[in-house]
Amino acid sequence: MDYQKILEEIADEIKPLFSQGKVADYIPALRDVEPSDFAMSVEFIDGSVYNVGCSKKKFSIQSISKVFTYSMSLCIYEKSLYKRVWHEPSGDPFNSLVQLEYENGIPRNPFINAGAIVTADTLVSKYKNSKKAFQEIKRFIDEISSADITINEEVYHSELKYGFRNMALVNLMKSFKNIENDIDEVMKTYFKQCSFEMSTNELAKAMLYLANHGTHPLTNKKYLNQSQAKRVNSLLLTCGHYDASGDFAFRVGLPGKSGVGGGIVAIVPKMMALCVYSPKLNKQGNSLIGTKALELFTTKTGLSIF
Ligand code: GLU
Q: What tens digit of pLDDT does each residue of 89-118 get?
A: 988 887 888 999 999 999 999 999 999 999
Cβ contacts of 4 within 8 Å, gap of 6 or more: 50, 52
- Domain 3-62+197-301 shares a fold with domain 66-196: yes
Taking alpha carbons only, the member of 275, 239, 241, 246 closest to residue 258 is: 241
The mean pLDDT value of the chain amounts to 96
Out of 3.90.1170.50, 3.40.50.620, 3.30.1330.60, 3.40.710.10, the CATH code matching 66-196 is 3.40.710.10
Query: What pLDDT shows up at residue 305?
Result: 94
Lowest-confidence pick of 2-16, 28-42, 87-101, 199-213: 87-101
Cβ-based neighbours of 299, under 8 Å, separated by 6 or more: none
Q: How far is ligand 1, taken at its centre, from the CA of residue 63, in Å? A: 5
C-alpha 40, offset from chain centre = 15
Q: Whose CA is nearest to atom 2 of ligand 1?
A: 62
Q: Tell me, what's the pLDDT at 225?
A: 98
What percent of the chain clears pLDDT 70, i.e. is strictly above it? Answer: 100
| % of the chain surpassing 90 pLDDT | 94
Name every protein residue with a CB atom under 6 angstroms from any ligand 1 atom: 62-63, 94-95, 113, 159, 166, 194, 259-260, 285
| Residue 171 pLDDT | 98
pLDDT of residue 95: 81
Does 87 score more than 90 pLDDT? yes
Domain assignments of the chain as residue spans, ordered by start: 3-62+197-301, 66-196
State yes or no: is 260 an active-site residue. Answer: yes
**pLDDT at residue number 91:** 84
The catalytically annotated residue of 63, 245, 258, 278 is: 63
pLDDT score of 143: 97
Q: Which residues, 6+ apart, have CB-to-CB distance to 193 below 8 Å?
A: 65, 66, 68, 69, 120, 134, 137
Three-class HEC string of 73-129: HHHHHHHHHHHCCCCCCCCCCCCCCHHHHHCCCCCCCCCCHHHHHHHHHHHHHHHCC
In the reported structure, the alpha carbon of residue 112 is separated from the centroid of ligand 1 by a whole-number distance in angstroms of 8
Catalytic member of 252, 260, 268, 276 = 260
Q: What is the pLDDT of residue 197?
A: 98
Note the pLDDT tens digit of each residue in 130-140.
Answer: 999 999 999 99
Q: What is the pLDDT of residue 260?
A: 96
pLDDT value of residue 144? 97
Closest ligand 1 atom, residue 195 Cα: 1
pLDDT given at position 224: 98
Counting from 1 in the atom list of ligand 1, the atom nearest the Cα of 285 is 9
Pocket test residue of 113, 151, 170 for ligand 1, highest count of atoms within 8 A of CB:
113
The tens digit of pLDDT for each residue in 224-283 reads 999 999 999 999 999 999 899 999 999 999 999 999 999 999 999 999 999 999 999 999
3-class secondary structure, 253: coil
Confidence class of residue 24 from pLDDT cuts 50, 70 and 90?
very high
Q: Please identify, by atom number, the ligand 1 atom nearest to the C-alpha of residue 260.
A: 8
Q: Is the pLDDT score of 26 beyond 90?
A: no
Nearest to 262 by CA among 53, 13, 89, 100: 53
Q: Output the pLDDT for position 96.
A: 85
Give the Å distance between the CA of 249 and the centre of ligand 1: 21
Ligand 1 atom nearest residue 116's Cα: 4
Q: Are 91 and 99 in contact (CB under 8 A)?
A: no
Determine the distance separating the centroid of ligand 1 and the alpha carbon of 262, expressed in angstroms: 11
**Is 242 part of the annotated catalytic residue set?**
yes
Closest-lying ligand 1 atom to the alpha carbon of residue 26: 10
Q: What is the pTM of this model?
A: 0.97
Cα-to-centroid distance, 259 and ligand 1 (Å): 7
Q: Which of 66, 205, 280, 292 is catalytic?
A: 66
CATH annotation of 3-62+197-301: 3.40.710.10
